[in-house]
Amino acid sequence: MQATQSPQSPSSIFIVASAYGVDFVQKQGHAAVLPLAANAGADGLEVRRELFPDSDAEIALQLAGLKSIFDAHGLQAMYSAPESLFRQDGDLDLALLASRLHEAEVLGAATLKLQMHGYAGRVDAPALQHALSRSPATLLLENGQQESGCRISEFAGFFAACSASFPAIPVAMTFDIGNWSWAGEDPVAAVQALAPHVRYIHCKDVQGSGMRRFAVALDEGSVDWRACLSRLPGAVPRAIEYPLPADPAAQARHVRQLRAAAASLSCGAGTCQ
């Protein structure tokens, strides 16, 4: 495959809130990292639900307050929740989906990111279509680090089922370049199979193996992230999801580096041939 330059506008660069440190965000709140992301030159921030040490009602209030701060800094919002679209029995968790879609709407986020563990090879297409039709937020499913819902074949089967419904279900994918290492899958093979469904990209490298595997900055691990970016859609957001240094100038440098890589390794709206 050979990458071609995208004729489209450059993709947005996001920072995942956890890149500033889980302890810091849990103690200081997402409001504390929004100005850091803005000062680093990012276009947006991914808000992580698991970093709110509060009840559901308190989280909703905090999300509503964050919306005005996003607007003040001119940043876009992504909303991520750690739960799965599926229950342990393999059925859709429609109650959870409705709740998280509402929270995304309160935040003003264009997308909701969930996991797909528990996927049993089936999906109630009409029920999912109906649930998503009631929200302006787009659902993105991420390849995670669980024992299920992280395989290329699982995502390929899920999106085939969604595409076969009429109308097609408005659900897409968050492609985490590094997480395929946890599943023992080849990220480049994942790109070849799933690129048409990708609408958001988590960028990180990976060091170590087994239980001692962890995320690191790009070019500090073993993942061929350039090969992935060169074959993934060009005009979709990329996000930094690895620990950022404390120095603001260094944070800005990481944003610039990813922005430059996104521009030079772009393949347009679909896969590159």
At 49-84, the pLDDT tens digits run 999 988 999 999 999 999 999 999 999 999 999 999
Handedness of CA 207, 178, 201, 84 (dihedral sign): negative
pLDDT exceeds 90 at position 209: no
Spatial distance between the Cα atoms of 209 and 93, rounded to a whole number of angstroms: 32
Q: Average model confidence (pLDDT) for the chain?
A: 92
**What topology does CATH give the domain 13-264?**
TIM Barrel (3.20.20)
> What's the pTM?
0.93
pLDDT exceeds 60 at position 8: no
Q: Could you count the other beta carbons within 10 Å of the beta carbon of residue 94?
A: 15
Per-residue pLDDT, averaged over 92-113, amounts to: 97
Spatial distance between the Cα atoms of 94 and 123, rounded to a whole number of angstroms: 12
pLDDT at 267: 66
Structure confidence at residue 3 as a pLDDT band (50, 70, 90): very low
pLDDT at 1: 29
Structure confidence at residue 149 as a pLDDT band (50, 70, 90): confident
pLDDT exceeds 80 at position 148: yes
Q: pLDDT per residue over 124-144, tens digit each? A: 999 999 999 999 999 999 999
pLDDT exceeds 60 at position 236: yes
Structure confidence at residue 272 as a pLDDT band (50, 70, 90): low
